Each structure stands twice: as structure tokens, then as C-alpha cells.
Amino acid sequence: MPFNYKGHLISKAYVIDLLVEKSLIIELKSVEKVLRVHKNQVRTYLKGSNLQVGLLINFNVEQLMDGVYRIIVSS
């Protein structure tokens, strides 16, 4: 995903896991515990792409719904 930093386009800055309909970023993990750095990663992707909503999904849980985090940033 290209990233715009202070007016400069950086063409190979980030590799997101899924982009749905150019409106939703989904970041996939399989970690023991979701940390703040994982949520910040999604926030960075959202800010860089001018999108507002992302999902962080951790598959290392007993019930999948326990591993889904909705991340929202203001534009």
C-alpha cells in the first residue's frame, strides 16, 4: 500500500493483509495476546490510507469473536 508522508508518496511502505472495497482494512494475527503495538499498526495503516475503519483479527483464540477488534480513527 502506498503511503503519503508530508506530501511525499512512498510507494512500498506497508503491506496490509486485506483491503475490502477500498474502505476497510483487515489485519490478521495469530498471537498469544494482542498488544497495543498491533492496534497501533492498524491505526497507522488507516491514517496513511485516509480510511476510518479497520479490523484486527487474532486467530489464536478459542472463539473467533474474542479475537476481533474494531479500530476507528477520525479523519
CB 42 within 8 A of CB 18: no
Query: What's the pLDDT score for residue 12?
Result: 66
Q: How far apart are CA 18 and CA 22, in angstroms?
A: 10
Query: What's the pLDDT score for residue 6?
Result: 78
Show the low-confidence residues of the chain (pLDDT under 50): none
Asked whether residue 5 is assigned to any structural domain, the reply reads no
Asked whether residue 65 is assigned to any structural domain, the reply reads yes
CB 29 within 8 A of CB 37: no
Its domain, for residue 26, covers 16-72
Count up the domains in the chain and report the number: 1
Query: What's the pLDDT score for residue 14?
Result: 73
Asked whether residue 21 is assigned to any structural domain, the reply reads yes
